Amino acid sequence: MSRLLIIGCGGVAQVAITKCCQNSEVFTEICIASRTVSKCEALKEKLEKNTTTKITTAKVDADNVDELVALIESYKPEAVLNLALPYQDLTIMDACLKTKVNYIDTANYEPEDTEDPEWKAIYEKRCKEAGFSAYFDYSWQWAYQDRFKEANILGLLGTGFDPGVTSVFTAYAKKHYFDTIESVDILDCNGGDHGYPFATNFNPEINLREVSAPGSYWEDGHWVEIPAMSIKREYDFPEVGMKDMYLLHHEEIESLAKNYPEIKRIRFFMTFGQSYLTHMKCLENVGMLRTDPVNFNGVDIVPIQFLKELLPDPATLGPRTVGKTNIGCIFKGKKDGKDKTIYIYNVCDHQECYKEVGSQAISYTTGVPAMIGAMMVVTGKWNGTGVFNVEEFDPDPYMEALNKWGLPWVVDENPAIVE
Ligand code: NDP
C-alpha cells in the first residue's frame, strides 16, 4: 500500500524498520538508506525472512541534498522517515521540498558545528529573544511552513517518545480529560541497568549535548533558565520505584507552549544515577564534551565525536540492559470547574524489547512511535499541508496504535505529583 524511504540505520532506525516489517499491510515496500550501507544490508538480511515487506537498501550521504534528491527521485516514496541525526534535518527537508514528498522526523535541528559563525549569530540572537540557550530549537524547521504548504506536502516533526508520544499524551489529555490544562510535568525515567560504568542510551553526542546544557522550563508565557542539573526531585515511578530526576530543557516544551498557550507551566525531568552524573561532569570539566574542532598532531578532532568512538554503541546495549522505563506526563487542570490531576504513562521492559526486536527500551520507545508517525502520514489518518508537531493532530488513532504496536499506556487518575 505504501513505499517509505528510511534514512539512518542506527539504534532507533533498527527498531522502526523492524516494526515497519511487522506492519507489512501498511508498509509494503521500504528502502533503508544510510551512510554505512553494510548496516542496512545486514538488517535487510535479518528481517526479510520473516516479512512480506519488500526491503531495498541504498547508500546516501544525508548532508548532501543532491544525493538525497537523486535517491528520492529514483525510489519514489510516499514519505521520507528521517532517523539519521538532527544535523541532517534541514538537508532532508530541502530534498523533500524539491521532490514534493512528505517528511517525518523524531528530533529537532541542531548544527553539527556550534562554532559556525553564520549559525552562531542567529543562535545568539535567539538566546536573547527567546530566553533559552539550548543548541536546538524549532525555529529552523517551523520556517519551512509556507514552503511545505506551497509544495502541498506534510512535514511531521518529532514523532519519537519525547518529543512525540508525550506530545500526543497532551493532546489526548486535553481532548478526553480536561477543559483546561494548567501544568504539565513530563517525566522520563530509565530504571534500566546496562552494567557499564558509563554509556548513553542513544547517540552519545546528541545525548551528552542535551543533558549537559542549562535546564529550562516554561512559566507564565516565558522561559526560565537554570544551571544544568540544578533542580532535582525524587519520584516514585510505577513499576520502577524511587528515582532522582533533574529538570532539563527539552524540545517538546517549545511546541507545547506554542500549541497550548493555556498551559501556565511545562517542565521536563529525566532520571540520572550518580555514576552517570559524575562521569559527565568529569568529561565536561576536561573538555571532552566540546563540539568545536581541536587540532591534534595535525588532525582536526571534535572531542565529543572522539568520545562517541570510545563509548559503547547504544545499539549494542540490548542484551545487557535489565529493568524498565516509565515515561509519561502529569497533567493538572480543570474539568467541569473542578481540579483534576492525571498521569498518562507507558512502562517498557528492556529485556522484553530485546527479545522482540533485539534492542533496549530507549531505542524501542523511540522507534515504535517513529513507525506509528509514518503510518499516520502514509495512511492519510493525519493529513494536511505544512509543517506540524504531533500534538496538532487527532491523538486517538495514534494512541490506539501505541497499544497495538508495543507501547501500551495507562491513565492514573490519582497520581503522586512533583513538588
Ligand atoms: P545512531 O547514532 O544510533 O544512528 C544514526 C544513524 O544515522 C546511523 O545509521 C548513521 O550512519 C546515520 N547517519 C548519520 N549521519 C548520516 C549522514 N550524513 N548520512 C546518512 N546517514 C547518516 O542514533 P540513534 O538511532 O540513537 O538516534 C537517531 C535519531 O533519533 C536522532 O536524531 C536522535 O536525536 C533521535 N532520538 C529521538 C528520541 C525521541 O524520543 N524523540 C529519543 C532518542 C533518539 P553511520 O552508521 O554511518 O554513522
> So what's the pLDDT on residue 79?
98
Q: Give distance in angstroms: CA of 292 to centre of ligand 1.
A: 20
As a whole number, mean pLDDT of residues 387-398 equals 98
| Per-residue pLDDT reduced to its tens digit, 356-373 | 999 999 999 999 999 999
Is it true that 2-157 and 165-358 share their CATH fold?
A: no
> So what's the pLDDT on residue 243?
97
As a whole number, mean pLDDT of residues 212-218 equals 93
Tell the residue nearest (CA) to atom 34 of ligand 1.
Answer: 107
Which residues have C-beta atoms less than 6 Å from ligand 1? Answer: 8-13, 34-36, 39, 60-63, 83-86, 88, 106-107, 160-164, 202-203, 206, 314-315, 366
CATH hierarchy code of domain 2-157: 3.40.50.720
Asked if the model's pLDDT at residue 256 lies above 90, the reply is: yes
Asked if the model's pLDDT at residue 113 lies above 90, the reply is: no
As a whole number, mean pLDDT of residues 32-38 equals 97
159 Cα nearest atom in ligand 1: 41
Asked if the model's pLDDT at residue 1 lies above 90, the reply is: no
Q: Provide the pLDDT confidence category of residue 292 given band limits of 50, 70 and 90.
A: confident
Q: Give distance in angstroms: CA of 263 to centre of ligand 1.
A: 32
Mean of all residue pLDDT scores within the chain: 96
Q: Where are the domains of the chain?
A: 2-157, 165-358
Please give the single-letter amino acid code of residue 168: V
> So what's the pLDDT on residue 63?
98
| Per-residue pLDDT reduced to its tens digit, 309-350 | 999 998 889 999 999 999 999 999 999 999 999 999 999 999
| Per-residue pLDDT reduced to its tens digit, 53-103 | 999 999 999 999 999 999 999 999 999 999 999 999 999 999 999 999 999
Q: Tell me what percent of the residues of the chain surpass a pLDDT of 70.
A: 100
> So what's the pLDDT on residue 240?
97
Q: Which fold has domain 165-358?
A: Dihydrodipicolinate Reductase; domain 2 (3.30.360)
Q: Tell me what percent of the residues of the chain surpass a pLDDT of 90.
A: 92
Backbone phi and psi for residue 404, each to the nearest 5 degrees, phi listed first? -75, -35
Asked if the model's pLDDT at residue 223 lies above 90, the reply is: yes
Predicted ipTM beyond 0.90: yes
